[in-house]
Amino acid sequence: MNLLLAEDEPLMLQILEAYFRKEGFRLFLAQDGEAALDIYYNHTIDLAILDWMMPKHSGIEVCQEIKQTGRTKVLLLTAKGDPEDELLALKSGADDYVRKPFDPRILILRAQKLLQLTSKLMIGDLTVDLEGQKVYRGGTDVLATHKEFQLMKYLALNRGQIVTRKMLLDQVWGFDYFGEERTVDTHIRRLREKIGEQHIRTHRGMGYCLEAADE
């Protein structure tokens, strides 16, 4: 899932980035409304989380433009607490509205609800149990290791999109990992043996893409 995070406070942006990356989202970051719109028009965005008070274009203005041109979900963040402000946010087309300060874990749950991400992701005959951290094929636990599950989770959240080895290394092994990128290939091969070769397609020179068997 592609997530646009637009927040003009660097520390807040860094905190939210860490939380959402841990959940497997592919992130695009902006610190003002102009940058947010540039990202929106150049990438496929599933959900935009926008701070209301941003330089150049406010979150309200960005939300209105996004809603006029597409179906991307929008969640607004604001320190404003007046009911009239909440009404204005929803009238601008926002799908949800969260007041600051907030617990990042609550924001993640609100985001998952907007994107209709349940605790289980279904891809063909595969089930990825996000809560139980298990992968099932045809209802049978494939006994995925922790790394295999994390790979599967990231691929499932970004189903239909090509993800590079670097993205998988950053997400599964961590940004401080300095080993070989081929480590990913080894784990992907083992994962394929468990879930079926047909589900993960290799795009040479680019990366991997998770697809349902009937797609």
- The verdict on 39 and 68 lying in the same domain is yes
**Helix/strand/coil for 197:** helix
pLDDT of residue 43 exceeding 70: yes
Give the CATH number of the domain where residue 26 resides: 3.40.50.2300
- The verdict on 26 and 107 lying in the same domain is yes
Q: Is 83 within the bounds of a domain?
A: yes
In 94-179, which residue ranges form alpha helices assigned H by DSSP? 104-114, 146-157, 165-168
Range of the domain at 24: 2-114
pLDDT tens, position by position, 133-189: 899 988 889 999 999 999 998 888 888 888 888 888 887 887 666 667 788 889 999
- The verdict on 131 and 177 lying in the same domain is yes
- The verdict on 27 and 109 lying in the same domain is yes
Please state, for a pLDDT cut of 70, what percent of the chain lies above it: 92
CA distance 143 to 82: 50
86 vs 168 pLDDT, higher one: 168
* Angle at CA of residue 142, ends 140 and 19, nearest 5°: 110
Q: Is 91 within the bounds of a domain?
A: yes
- The verdict on 106 and 127 lying in the same domain is no
The structure's pTM equals: 0.65
CA distance 89 to 96: 8
pLDDT tens, position by position, 112-122: 888 877 677 87
